[in-house]
Amino acid sequence: QVQCVESGGGLVQPGGSLRLSCAVSGSSVTIATMGWFRQAPGKQRELVADMTSGGSTKYADFVKGRFTISRDNAKNTVYLQMNSLKPEDTAVYYCNFARIRVGQNYWGQGTQVTVSS
């Protein structure tokens, strides 16, 4: 059973930074597409960024140039570095482990990010 455990959320002022971590157990981050999603109150969950097993990355337009997804293979952990945070970035952020071809799709429990002065 794959487990994803997020950490690093919190309250930050506009313009500030946070780094989210997603520690994976039960499988390797190097064989999956690892994604960060977010869900704000009253809105649908949306993709923020993802990284394929080969290391290719993709970002939502609303975070390009501000957020960076990265991976530490030795720690089996994926990160989301968030800079220049805006109030509209406030949401619960979820980590996702996906190997669609073999029917694996796992979510973490989420970590709250609040951007407010």
Which of the residues in the chain have pLDDT under 70? none
pLDDT of residue 43: 97
Q: How distant is the alpha carbon of residue 37 from its chain centre?
A: 6
Within 10 A of 69 (CB to CB), how many other CB atoms are there? 21
| The pLDDT of residue 47 | 98
Residue 8 has phi, psi (to 5 degrees) of 105, -5
How far apart CA 6 and CA 14 sit, in angstroms, is 22
Report the pLDDT value the prediction gives residue 51, as an integer from 0 to 100.
98
Q: What is the pLDDT of residues 55-70, one digit of tens each?
A: 999 999 999 899 999 9
Tell me, what's the pLDDT at 8?
98
pLDDT at position 57: 97
Cβ contacts of 23 within 8 Å, gap of 6 or more: 4, 5, 7, 75, 76, 77
